[in-house]
Amino acid sequence: MEISIPEKVLFETEIYEIDDNLKVKNGQVKVTENRVLIKSNGNLKLLYVSGVKMLEIKKEERWGHFLAGAIFLISAGIMYLFGVEYGIKSFSSALFFFILPTVFLSLALILLYWWFVTRSYLLEMSTEFGRRVKIRSKCREDLVEIANAVELVKMGAVRRLQMRSEKWGERSFI
């Protein structure tokens, strides 16, 4: 069952985010004359534009993943160098100079890949009631367009354009 929207949809875009567990979430954002409708993976959020106090676009770099990957990479390199220097002569030296650095190297590569994939931009809409609605996307331009559409509706520019076109005898939505 689909939610019917009584107003004209002014702006609509597809967004996606890559979550911490590397699942891709697809979503759709619609901005109407009074509301913002956010639909993604079975979740539906409906936000009245008049209740939005602040819009903020920021970049989430996820530096923790990068830092952990870099530490594991440096540690693996140091252990491999010790293995070359002292050689592998027993099981414990093979464990410390070959197996453990290989595990560290694989973890480092996974963490660095995870950091690269999960970096994204975040649009936070703060409401009058202290709630924050977050929209995440890899593309900053989509979030800027959403923020611009919300601001135009909030300022009333859309209604003024509609009234002006009705006065001239045209009935169109911009």
Among 55, 54, 50, CA closest to 34: 50
Q: How confident is the model at residue 77 (pLDDT cuts 50, 70, 90)?
A: very high
Rounded Cα distance between 35 and 48, Å, is 4
Q: How confident is the model at residue 21 (pLDDT cuts 50, 70, 90)?
A: low
Most confident option among 20-24, 73-77, 79-83, 130-134: 73-77
Rounded Cα distance between 132 and 52, Å, is 9
Q: Where are the domains of the chain?
A: 9-58+121-167, 63-117
User: pLDDT for 114-162, tens place per residue?
Assistant: 898 888 888 888 888 888 888 888 888 888 888 888 888 888 765 554 5
Rounded Cα distance between 55 and 132, Å, is 10
Q: What are 48's strand-pairing partners?
A: 35
Asked if pLDDT for residue 20 goes beyond 70, the answer is no
Q: Domain 9-58+121-167: give its CATH code.
A: 2.30.29.30
What is residue 19's predicted lDDT score, i.e. its pLDDT?
63
